[in-house]
Amino acid sequence: MAIRKVARLGHPVLRQRAEEVPEAEIDSPRVQGIIDDLLVTMVEYDGAGLAAPQIHESVRIAVLVLDEQTDPHIWINPVITPIGDEMISSYEGCLSVPGMRGAVARHVEIEVDAVDRRGRALHFHLKGFPAIVAQHECDHLDGVLYIDKADRSTMTFLEEYRRFGPWPLEKDARADELSGDDADE
């Protein structure tokens, strides 16, 4: 296990669609090592999640903390399916875009299919903040950063966000509770 350097905005690995992890390689030392490194790196940087491209590995693996009562989730080759059309905007941050926040509209409710680090099928139905974290991390696997989806008029430095924000978002009475406070995703 190693704490890895987090790729920052501008590094090409963040803009590539990550490769699927072949089922036969899930138990390999390489894939298991990437997972272990993601977990310790996410903890070190106090993230709510981390995707493999953020540690310079262009494979479809993400680790996420969906609630404080459970261990981090490990998703390999996740696929997100939005449920309904309801969207909510909340302020997001990212370890790959340090020191910034911006409001992003995301689906309130989603389903996720993936496999775990042992190759077992996973299925989740997520709402609210866990759904936001899942969408944010899975975007990384497609080479998309939250700033690509953010309302540009809401972009702010973290210091100003903490001092003056978060600012109310249109038609989102729940945005504050879903913003995840100061956690970077």
Q: Which residues are catalytic?
A: 137
Determine whether 164 is exposed, middle or buried from the number of CB atoms within 10 Å of its CB (0-12, 13-18, 19+): exposed
CA–CA distance, 45 with 42 (Å, rounded to integer): 5
**To which H or E segment does residue 184 belong?**
none
CB contact at 8 A, 157 and 99: yes
3-state secondary structure 52-69: HHHHCCCECEEEECCCCC
Q: Which residues contact 169 (CB under 8 A, 6 or more apart)?
A: 89, 90, 103, 154, 175
139: tokens are 């975007």
| Element spanning 25, H or E | none
Closest to 136 in 3D by CA, of 50, 70, 52: 50
